[in-house]
Structure 1
């Protein structure tokens, strides 16, 4: 008897059966754009070996004007068929099924040739689109149909037609972007004509025994978006047109509501999909922030959907489903929804990977193989760098001992998990704890290691992390000045008026921590929806509350200061920085930049501005919190080197550029792979 009877039940589609209810949702990885088709094939095959029922590729363009970026992968020629056949064959050999997503970006296409229903420029692209005429619309339909036909020829089990997230088909549906007055615009029946025609013509081209998934925007989260009655009407027409499955899309890319970041509650939008259940007879998939078998099981058991889509969890652990089947869910590497190595990379033009799993999208070049010679390895530091190194070394067969002077593992993760919106970090630390036991790693906590303690090990790895940088402000030794570490550990009281010195990632986190009180909105869906102005699309068009966001009042008056005269949070995550800025602004945090820290006294923090140190100002504060950066903690490494021993130094102990767990874990894993 499985622990997840609903999640792991097969799904009969008539002409084929899916072995469980888990879809690996589409992700832009950049792999197809490398043109290394063996590498692409291995990425998907690894997930097929992990027993996911069906995978969807990243978005593949049906033509040049619809491609997301110049040089993006397309399916237009016989050469494309040949290349993609490498992928489908490898997946099928691994026992999996795979569908190709056909993605026409419309006005989101980042290029001067982009097209759209109307010449309404996207706020996230500098290129105004060309309005399509009748002939141009027919060309787009024909190209999408051709891409589907070629996908079948390439061996795909199906296609997903992207009709959500504000892409091309979605742009026709919503008056926000469709200002037409011909048969493709005006009434709702006219505005949904294009997606229906696309699905109908694709079905004609591919036959009856081929999966067609239609990705439907269930809640647009933009002004003038669809009502839920309109969503239902479209879903019914898409079913009639020949779709096999309807998948859920949440929010447009330009929406000012976070939808997949870690601060979004788990399964935050399953209720939207549930509203569609019973209105159509084909299976319905729900998505967004479903990242454990337990959450997936509950969503299906409660009737929210027939199937769940998990995209980034399959980056974190390609064997997610296999481990769930085996009753080893505690060993599933968790997706913490940080966006740092996936979406941030995608929108920066870099190859996607995963903070938790650096092998994601690097399966052919980051190989974890048994070591030729077993070694005894000492690792000092049980933060993410040290623990990732330890796990990989142990997996390869080495004997590993991990030392840490703290009473618990996790390092800086234990501070991150205290931040409202970062609750996923609790599970991240729990996973490390599980894997230490699985790999039989010798863990020695409460141990302050010296160079003498490391005699006799074949390899020594220093992962001791960072120490706070001293900003050297006159008066910082006063009773009203505290360190961010003590604040997040709850060791010191903090007053009602707070000045936070340093607006990097830690300064933002500390400010978030200080303005909240009570339960985190990430743990309370109604509160989170109110905070971001999310409403039921059955009541308010597009799912936006008419009176906008309604956050809880801030617990404290916070001023966040930085030396640089630039936008606060400029160096935060590419896809999450705006969320952090918006969240703090909703809590009335005062952003002050371009300052010199002159002195601290009982009245607060005295600053001036610019190189000339002009406009002396008092920031009245009961408490001043120091978040002024970090320095590598490498004294132990220096002691070893003085003895003629050359240790490996990784993570913050190597480079203390902000707290970069992504770099630390990648560095540690790559080191462990070659020892």
Structure 2
């Protein structure tokens, strides 16, 4: 696809951008680490080198009580200016442009981090925070507005090319606008105009403080996705008011952190929310920026061409590949390491208080110390296993100049990624496999499929070192009847070596069991398109189609432990489980298995024996490391053990790729 719209320069106030791709704001948490601001500077400069049109930083707190409690995430003191100047200096040296996001978390601020009580328009506790906020007094509201203005002045002095006011995602400004969180009856709450006043006053005060020629972007909430919150009519009216207040561009955000609708997870279709930006664009005359689940420059081109927005914001795609813009500009689309929206190393890490990285690109946060250094002596290295650990190890080793041969027992690369990519809503894993296929071909890695590696053969062929990434062996628990013919392993189901009936019991309720349930429920249901076709051409009437759609499998997941879906990411687990419950999957925990019989599975729950009928029983009860080759090579060749072969985890691609990247740099 020929790209043209994305390369058109665009004006935001007095600032001219070379293209229409913005790296959206992300909290990455590097400030917690040693030399935190230097890490941030290197991180942003790398994205500037990759030709991002504009970079927006993670939120910088305008007031201590609204921040993250970390150094360098702040812009509320004059001493913050010098610290932040290192970031702008490095980005400008890379010919990039960068905006500082002015941030106040409101009731989302954690007292554990700030040491202060969170504040909000009304004293209503957020379900994602164990601390109840106190209500801001009128004089404190005025002071907070001034904090935004003062923060903008400091950003300007620190050399930032623009500021972005954070008014979306359920943070403080958004809390004032929404009737869900603003129950005030004074001049700062009540009807829409009074609820809107805080955000508008912030925009006006910032404009007044920085002058007419300094660009201001406003991150507004296009959809709160909260019951009884701001209406679309009010949202569009607010957009017009922001334009009149002197804002230069509107960046349209989607959803609150507490909303029960997925907005950026893998299960969300690409570009699902760009229509919201289009509605805003139709009523304002300033640039409008679309965001959420946009991870391909060709997709961005279509969004711009069809006039959904004037710019496109990509955040996590710049974690996955800092050079996504540059590679796409050169037509190297297959070389892009695409963001798969898994959330596992970015959002999940941040919400767990860790530093952000990226499942498909563990270089994130390690840019300085992990720069690839050519190998002093090129070696002939065998990588055994072409799952995510082996693929990344082979890629890095070859990039550094080693002669790499990768051997895989199966007929295709990917390992257990080939399981994940079958699951509806997880198709993005296809992009990861496409990336590795492209990279291994580009780097001249020899791939031997259908090859079972043996220690003697590896020694005879003269390999200098061996990386063992042979994955896992599915575990068969000791349950009477587990050897019966209708009992299948999860691997046999994913690999389509086992026929699955209508009444299914899954032994296990972890991440793999959840994936299996989703796959099997979706697998046999007639698609909406097929249903529409059958009715439109009168092949079947509506009732007959409905009967077909209702012929769903009955699936039950059983677990000895307490929790279903353990191992799933913190930010996506709730959505996965809600989807399974909506589809009628039964989840039973804290049970003891009695036996598996031809008619079903017997188990004890709350002291009583029960039986669930099953024509198919699938065992998804964990795995053990497949490490026999490692032990056969030990003390005979330099050998390295990584991924599932080192430690059996549930489809833990994050750890696998990280270990592959690490060993690839160590040899």
TM-align CA RMSD: 1.9
Counterpart for residue 594 of structure 1: 590
Q: Which secondary structure does the structure 2 equivalent of 1:394 belong to?
A: helix
Match of residue 389, structure 2, among 378, 385, 393: 385
CA–CA distance in structure 2, aligned partners of residues 44 and 646 of structure 1 = 38
CA–CA distance in structure 2, aligned partners of residues 88 and 103 of structure 1 = 18
**2:60–2:100 contact (8 Å) kept in structure 1:** yes
404-413 or 614-623: bigger deviation:
614-623
Counterpart for residue 308 of structure 2: 304
Counterpart for residue 537 of structure 1: none
Match of residue 411, structure 1, among 412, 415, 438: 415
Which aligned pairs between 1:491-502 and structure 2 lie closer than 5 A?
Answer: 491-502=497-508
Structure 1: gaps of 5 or more residues: 527-551
Which aligned pairs between 1:326-345 and structure 2 lie closer than 5 A?
Answer: 326-345=330-349
**2:117–2:133 contact (8 Å) kept in structure 1:** yes
Displacement, 1:78? Answer: 2.5
Whether 1:651 aligns to 2:651 is no
Aligned residues: 643
Cα pair distance change 1:520/1:113, threshold 3 Å: farther
Counterpart for residue 630 of structure 2: 637
**1:420–1:521 contact (8 Å) kept in structure 2:** no
Counterpart for residue 557 of structure 1: 554
**1:498–1:622 contact (8 Å) kept in structure 2:** yes
Counterpart for residue 402 of structure 1: 406
CA–CA distance in structure 1, aligned partners of residues 129 and 278 of structure 2 = 33
CA–CA distance in structure 2, aligned partners of residues 209 and 87 of structure 1 = 22
Whether 1:458 aligns to 2:464 is yes
Counterpart for residue 512 of structure 1: 518
Displacement, 1:654? Answer: 0.4
Whether 1:75 aligns to 2:105 is no
Counterpart for residue 529 of structure 1: none
Q: Which secondary structure does the structure 2 equivalent of 1:377 belong to?
A: strand
Cα pair distance change 1:270/1:201, threshold 3 Å: same
**2:52–2:325 contact (8 Å) kept in structure 1:** yes
Whether 1:13 aligns to 2:30 is no
CA–CA distance in structure 2, aligned partners of residues 467 and 650 of structure 1 = 15
Displacement, 1:570? Answer: 3.8
Deviation per CA, 1:102-138: give whole Å up to 9, x if none: 1111111112521111111111111111111210101
Cα pair distance change 1:560/1:554, threshold 3 Å: farther
367-376 or 401-410: bigger deviation:
367-376
**1:514–1:555 contact (8 Å) kept in structure 2:** no
Match of residue 241, structure 1, among 237, 241, 245: 245
**1:285–1:309 contact (8 Å) kept in structure 2:** yes
Whether 1:101 aligns to 2:101 is yes
Match of residue 126, structure 1, among 127, 130, 135: 130
Counterpart for residue 541 of structure 1: none
Counterpart for residue 48 of structure 2: 48
CA–CA distance in structure 1, aligned partners of residues 251 and 550 of structure 2 = 37
Counterpart for residue 184 of structure 1: 188
Displacement, 1:453? Answer: 2.2
**1:515–1:554 contact (8 Å) kept in structure 2:** no
Counterpart for residue 602 of structure 2: 606
Q: Which secondary structure does the structure 1 equivalent of 2:504 belong to?
A: strand
Displacement, 1:494? Answer: 1.1
CA–CA distance in structure 1, aligned partners of residues 584 and 12 of structure 2 = 51
CA–CA distance in structure 1, aligned partners of residues 431 and 59 of structure 2 = 31
Counterpart for residue 158 of structure 2: 154
Counterpart for residue 351 of structure 1: 355
**1:517–1:555 contact (8 Å) kept in structure 2:** no
Cα pair distance change 1:238/1:136, threshold 3 Å: same
CA–CA distance in structure 1, aligned partners of residues 599 and 576 of structure 2 = 29
Match of residue 148, structure 2, among 121, 131, 144: 144
CA–CA distance in structure 2, aligned partners of residues 117 and 523 of structure 1 = 46
Normalising by structure 1, what TM-score? 0.93
Which aligned pairs between 1:468-547 and structure 2 lie closer than 5 A?
Answer: 468-517=474-523
**1:465–1:651 contact (8 Å) kept in structure 2:** yes
**1:216–1:248 contact (8 Å) kept in structure 2:** yes
Whether 1:269 aligns to 2:265 is no
Whether 1:668 aligns to 2:652 is no
CA–CA distance in structure 2, aligned partners of residues 302 and 193 of structure 1 = 33
Whether 1:200 aligns to 2:201 is no
CA–CA distance in structure 1, aligned partners of residues 155 and 185 of structure 2 = 34
Counterpart for residue 89 of structure 1: 89
Cα pair distance change 1:645/1:609, threshold 3 Å: farther
Counterpart for residue 360 of structure 1: 364
Displacement, 1:14? Answer: 4.9
CA–CA distance in structure 2, aligned partners of residues 71 and 387 of structure 1 = 37
Deviation per CA, 1:392-427: give whole Å up to 9, x if none: 111111111111111111111011111111010112
Whether 1:579 aligns to 2:575 is yes
Counterpart for residue 545 of structure 2: none
CA–CA distance in structure 1, aligned partners of residues 72 and 81 of structure 2 = 15
Displacement, 1:521? Answer: 9.3
Deviation per CA, 1:159-213: give whole Å up to 9, x if none: 1111111110111111111111111111111111111110111011112222211
CA–CA distance in structure 2, aligned partners of residues 556 and 69 of structure 1 = 49
CA–CA distance in structure 2, aligned partners of residues 518 and 219 of structure 1 = 34
Cα pair distance change 1:339/1:124, threshold 3 Å: same
**1:214–1:243 contact (8 Å) kept in structure 2:** yes
**2:64–2:76 contact (8 Å) kept in structure 1:** no
168-177 or 480-489: bigger deviation:
480-489
Displacement, 1:273? Answer: 1.2
Counterpart for residue 23 of structure 1: 22
Q: Which secondary structure does the structure 2 equivalent of 1:516 belong to?
A: helix
**1:420–1:522 contact (8 Å) kept in structure 2:** no
Counterpart for residue 537 of structure 2: none
CA–CA distance in structure 1, aligned partners of residues 272 and 469 of structure 2 = 36
**2:464–2:638 contact (8 Å) kept in structure 1:** no
CA–CA distance in structure 1, aligned partners of residues 527 and 90 of structure 2 = 43
**1:420–1:520 contact (8 Å) kept in structure 2:** no
Q: Which secondary structure does the structure 1 equivalent of 2:303 belong to?
A: helix
